[in-house]
């Protein structure tokens, strides 16, 4: 395992979401890499700060107020524009579902790609599932 892979897997490693061979590979890498150990310690400190402050309380009416504000600022589409918007949304959903089924089933992968090792699969999973969380923590959209 290289540093790039290890650093991407540190958050789920810290949360004890990894098990088996991948966790063992990270343990071995951390034993021999001071830079990744320092990264893990920094991540532990960051997580400690987040736990110290806890989650903010959100008003139960927040979603209602936000939606009302959006409706006030943007008039509802009429006639053909509304129909076209509905059709476009349905098309996007249908294509997304079809792509998810196709790519999730393994049909889009060559046999060699389908048998990638556990480390690469775990890195890919972490990248796809935590992108939003990392952007939020970094102050992005």
pLDDT at 27: 94
- How many CA within 13 A on the CB side of residue 24? 3
Residue 123 has pLDDT above 50, yes or no: yes
pLDDT score recorded for residue 105: 54
Q: What is the pLDDT of residues 66-98, one digit of tens each?
A: 888 888 877 666 777 777 778 788 877 877 777
Kindly tell me the sign of the dihedral angle through the C-alpha atoms of 14, 16, 18, 23: positive
The reported pLDDT for the residue numbered 57 is 78
DSSP state, 66?
H
Higher pLDDT: 26 or 102? It is: 26
Whether 30 and 37 have beta carbons less than 8 Å apart is answered as yes
What is the mean pLDDT of the segment spanning 14-41?
A: 92
Q: What is the pTM of this model?
A: 0.41
């Amino acid at each position: 395992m290289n540093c790039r892979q290890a650093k991407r897997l540190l958050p789920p490693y810290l949360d004890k979401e990894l098990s088996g061979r991948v966790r063992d590979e990270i343990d071995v890498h951390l034993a021999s890499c001071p830079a990744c150990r320092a990264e893990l310690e920094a991540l532990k400190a960051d997580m400690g700060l987040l736990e110290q402050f806890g989650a903010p309380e959100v008003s139960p009416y927040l979603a209602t107020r936000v939606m009302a504000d959006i409706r006030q600022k943007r008039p509802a589409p009429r006639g053909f524009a509304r129909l076209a918007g509905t059709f476009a949304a349905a098309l996007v959903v249908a294509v997304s579902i079809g792509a998810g089924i196709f790519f999730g089933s393994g049909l889009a992968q060559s046999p060699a790609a389908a048998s990638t090792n556990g480390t690469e699969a775990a890195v890919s999973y972490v990248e796809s599932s935590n992108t939003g969380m990392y952007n939020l923590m970094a102050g992005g959209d």
